[in-house]
């Protein structure tokens, strides 16, 4: 059926701007085999699933099913602006940060005794630095902090000795976030700065601390380790706890 072919072609185009099909499926909370049937034109989503897909990619439903030529021509009109914005965003100098996993600690508004611990996976491809940040709540701490779960994908750039992490949450909230951090003048490497994030009370500017994890962290382990932590927790990095207390 043409509508299935249109759906498959449009989905392949949309997925092409994301890290992988698996990342999209995780963002949609959808079974990979089910999504592959849409990609191959073997099946059509029901109305609720189509709405979920459209919300994730931030498109109208007619764009999901229209002829690929029409969708391509519409995007071609905007591509020069998109290319200019992207080139300005990722142009050098490249951020002075190594690839790997970083614990990222956010202050919790109105709770100076707590931190929200996320895990940021930084990836370097030549001069381009991209990242994914995983955030979730631990049961019992659902007030005064970032919405959950968080799957922020974005790019890191360097300007005036600051490293900016700009991202979009791939979950349904789709809110943007930005962090501005710089290396602190300590013998141990740690990044400190501010983050503009969405909280339960709305957007807020809060303190943020980043520290690289030497060992390898997988996605499941990251999910287990991310969440609210107390400054009095003996397992918390003591440098991070000290920086959080001193501001």
**Whether the model pTM is above 0.85:** no
Give the pLDDT band (50/70/90) at residue 224: confident
**Token reading at 55:** 């919300």
Q: Which phi and psi angles does 88 have, rounded to 5°?
A: -65, -30
What is the per-residue pLDDT for 139? Answer: 46
Q: Helices (DSSP H) in 61-181: which residue ranges?
A: 61-65, 68-90
From 96-100, 142-146, 157-161, 223-227, the region with the lowest mean pLDDT: 142-146
Identify the weakest region by mean pLDDT among 19-23, 72-76, 84-88, 92-96: 72-76
Look at the alpha carbons of 55, 106, 126, 98 in this order and tell me if their dihedral is positive or negative. negative
SS3 content of the chain, % helix, strand, coil (to 5): 35, 35, 30
How far, in Å, are 80, 84, 138, 237 from residue 145 at the CA level?
Answer: 38, 35, 11, 21
CA distance linking residue 61 with residue 133, whole number of Å? 28
Q: What is the pLDDT of residues 110-159, one digit of tens each?
A: 899 999 999 999 988 877 888 989 887 544 444 444 444 678 888 999 98
Report which of residues 181 and 142 the model is more confident about.
181
Residue 184, pLDDT > 60, answer yes
CB atoms within 10 A of CB 212: 16
Confidence of residue 107 (pLDDT cuts 50, 70, 90): very high
Considering the chain, what is the average pLDDT of its residues? 82
CA end-to-end span of the chain: 61
pLDDT > 70 in the chain, percent: 84
**How far apart are the C-alpha atoms of 71 and 93, rounded to whole Å?**
35
Q: Are 119 and 217 in contact (CB under 8 A)?
A: yes
Higher-confidence position of 176 and 76: 176
Cα–Cα distance for residue pair 158/92, rounded to 1 Å: 7
Q: What is the pLDDT of residues 6-51, one digit of tens each?
A: 889 989 888 876 778 888 888 888 889 999 999 998 889 998 898 8
């Amino acid at each position: 059926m043409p509508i299935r072919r249109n759906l498959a072609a449009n989905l392949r185009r949309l997925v092409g701007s994301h890290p992988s099909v698996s990342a999209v499926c995780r963002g949609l909370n959808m079974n990979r085999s089910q999504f592959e049937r849409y990609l191959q034109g073997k099946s059509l989503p029901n109305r609720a699933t189509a709405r979920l897909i459209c919300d994730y990619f931030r498109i109208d439903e007619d764009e999901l099913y229209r002829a690929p030529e029409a969708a391509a021509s519409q995007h071609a009109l905007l591509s020069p602006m998109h290319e200019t914005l992207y080139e300005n965003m990722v142009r050098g100098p490249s951020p002075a940060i190594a690839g790997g996993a970083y614990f990222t600690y956010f202050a919790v508004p109105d709770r100076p005794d707590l931190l929200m611990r996320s895990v940021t996976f930084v990836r370097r491809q030549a001069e381009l630095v991209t990242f994914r940040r995983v955030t979730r709540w631990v049961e019992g701490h659902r007030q005064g902090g970032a919405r959950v779960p968080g799957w922020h994908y974005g790019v890191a750039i360097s300007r005036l000795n600051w490293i900016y992490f700009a991202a979009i949450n791939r979950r349904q909230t789709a809110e943007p976030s930005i962090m501005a951090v710089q290396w602190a003048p300590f013998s141990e490497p740690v990044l400190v700065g501010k983050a503009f994030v969405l909280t339960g009370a709305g957007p807020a500017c809060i303190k943020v601390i980043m520290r690289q994890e030497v060992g390898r962290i997988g996605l499941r382990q990251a999910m287990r380790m991310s969440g609210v932590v107390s400054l009095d927790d003996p397992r918390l990095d003591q440098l991070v706890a000290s920086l959080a207390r001193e501001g």
